Each structure stands twice: as structure tokens, then as C-alpha cells.
Amino acid sequence: MNVRERVRRARANLEPSVLGQLAQAAAAAGISWELALQLPNHGQPFFAPIAAAIALGAERGTRGRQAIRMMTGVAVGILIGAAVLAVAGAGAWQIVVGTATALVVTTGAGAPLMVRNQAAASAILIVALHRPGSNLAVQRLEDALIGGAVAILIARFLLPVDPIPLVRGEAAKLREQLAAALDDAAAALAANDRKRAETAVERIWSIDDSALGRALLTAREVTRAAPRRRPLRRRVEKLSELYRELEASVYDSHAIATGVVRLADSDQAAPAEAAAAIAAAAEAVRAIEPVAARAAAEAAREAARRLRHADSSLGAAVMAHGAVGVADHTLRAATAREEERRLAERHRPLRQRLRRRPNP
């Protein structure tokens, strides 16, 4: 990989939303340190900024949950470590017992990985760093509470992630990935290039829509947990309807891929209508504006009809069926997008709505 490519990837990884999240984590670390220093006889509150940075370093939309899990794990580990100290004192085998107990208890309870790791780490620290007369357990618990509270305040109250761009961003990636793969398949059939067609089919089958599903789950969680984002719940549900249609288009593209395989394996060249139907389906996938989406869907339907008339083979029938399926999903997505935009307009501040109205 050359230097230019590395720089390009670095810029892509450090997009503005990511830089904003990193800045929030850094600021939260400093705030947590200063708050913990205000506690009497607290010593060096090293874990408070660590706790805040860990919580806010999680994926967008999961930061508040990460903070709660971290505080839960720390509390469990402190209780277990303190119990081991009270019964058996400090030492190597006591660390083994404390660590094993923390892991067994949290794993048995079905706790997430963050809770298990923090419980084990806290139990180890309480036993390993114990000094007679010290209050390490209390200090670590206070640090976790301060760092976690700062993270929750930022993640869920002050600067919660906006779920709408989160979902739209993942959908845009999936839409472009699917459309590009369909374009490759259309070009391969038009050129009667069997090897290129096989590559395009593999590309279609490898499309993964799980990132969009995770984004939708995160968006729903944000609108439940963050008070500032609760008014967006209905819009998120409409977006979920819209993007379920996009996910369904991915599965209908598998039918198109099956048709491509059958036509590419035939001794005769695929009819021009086959490439046209795939290209029309790709345009339907790309269409965003409702009017353009409906026109693209109708064009895909018409292209599928022409393909059926031109070729009565099973491969052409399967391909046409997939193209019609993509068109149907595009139509339903257009309706959902219009409803989502009406909800957005309804919740737009009155001043902005008046500004958008034309002068009489």
C-alpha cells in the first residue's frame, strides 16, 4: 500500500463525526480527573479519566450502555475482591480466587464482555494493590462512578448521537454497494464475458447487510435512552420500514445473480434485454427521491417485461422476477421516505418551517 492510499484511508477513518467522538472522550477524561480530585483523601484518581475514555470510546449509540456496564463490572469486582481480602488476605492464590470468582459470577449471569472484564480487573486490583489502612476499593468505585457518570451525561443528555444520519449513512453504503454489483453483472452480460459475470455474481452474493441492521438497533436504543432523541422515535421506525425494503432488495438481487449464472453458462449469448433489466434494477436501487424512485421502479418493471418476451428460459424468468422484486421494494421505500419526511417537517422548529414557505 502506497503513502497516498494510507493517507486516504486515514482521512476516511477520521471523518468529522469520528473526530467529534474522540474529542468528547478526551474532554470527558479531563473533566473526570478534575471532579475526582475534589473528593477528600482520594489520592491519584487515575481510573476516573480511564473510565470516561473507555465508555465514550465505544461505538456510536452504545456509549451510555458501555458506561453502565463498566460501572456494574467495577462494582461487582470490588465486592468480590473485598470479600476475598476479608476472608483470606492478599497474595497470589487470592488473586486467582478473586479473578476466577469474578469471571464465573459474571459469566454465569450472562453479563456482557465489558462487565466480565471490568469485574475481573477490579477484583485483581483490589487484592494485588491492597495496603493496610488504604481505601483502594472505595477510591476505585468512586472513580468508576465519576467517569461513568460523566460519560452518561455526555452520551445520553448533552451530546447523544443523531440516529437519523447513523442509519442513513449505513443505508447509503449498502445501496451503492448493491447498485455497483448489479452494474457489474449487467456489463458482464452485455459483453458476454463469462468470467466477469462469475465475479459479479460472487460480489452480489457477498453483500452483507448486517451493518445496516446494527445501525437500526442502535438508532432505536438511542431514541429510547437519550431524552433529546426521543422525538425521533417515529422517524426511526419509518426509516426502519424504508431500509427493510433495501435489505429485501439485497435478497432479490440473489435471484438476479442466479439468472446471471444460468444465462452466462448458456451456449448462446444473453439477450440485450437481460443486461437492460439488471441495469434498470441498479438504477431503482440508487434512486432516493420518491418521484425518481417511482420512475426507476416502473422502468425496472418494464425492462423485466421485455426480458420475459425476449427470452423464455428459466434463467431469464428468474432474473426478471428479481428485477420486479427490486422495483416493488423501491416503490414501498418511496412511500416510507415520504412519510418520514412529513414527520421531519412536522417536528421542524416553527421558525425554520416559516422560512421554507414561499412568499405569497
State what percent of residues in the chain have pLDDT above 70.
96
Where a domain ends, among 156, 190, 225? 156
Cα 115 to Cα 75: distance, rounded to the nearest angstrom: 10
- Cell 414561499 belongs to 358
Where a domain ends, among 134, 156, 178? 156
Encode pLDDT of 135-186 as tens digits: 888 888 999 999 999 999 999 999 999 999 999 999 999 999 999 999 999 9
pTM of the model: 0.80
In this predicted structure, what is the pLDDT of residue 349? 59
Encode pLDDT of 41-92 as tens digits: 888 898 999 999 988 988 777 888 889 999 999 999 999 999 999 999 999 9
Same domain, 120 and 177: no
Q: Residue 183: which domain range?
A: 163-356
Q: What is the pLDDT confidence band of residue 18, given thresholds at 50, 70 and 90?
A: confident
In this predicted structure, what is the pLDDT of residue 315? 93
Average pLDDT, the chain: 91
Where a domain ends, among 156, 188, 214? 156
Q: Is the pLDDT of residue 1 over 80?
A: no
Same domain, 245 and 336: yes
Q: What is the pLDDT confidence band of residue 358, given thresholds at 50, 70 and 90?
A: very low
Q: How many structural domains is the chain composed of?
A: 2
Same domain, 134 and 65: yes
Provide the terminal-to-terminal Cα distance of the chain, rounded to the nearest Å: 59
Q: Is the pLDDT of residue 337 over 60?
A: yes
3-state secondary structure 149-171: HHHHHHHHHHCCCCHHHHHHHHH
Same domain, 247 and 346: yes
Residue 310 grid coordinates? 425476449
Same domain, 144 and 254: no
- Cell 412536522 belongs to 346
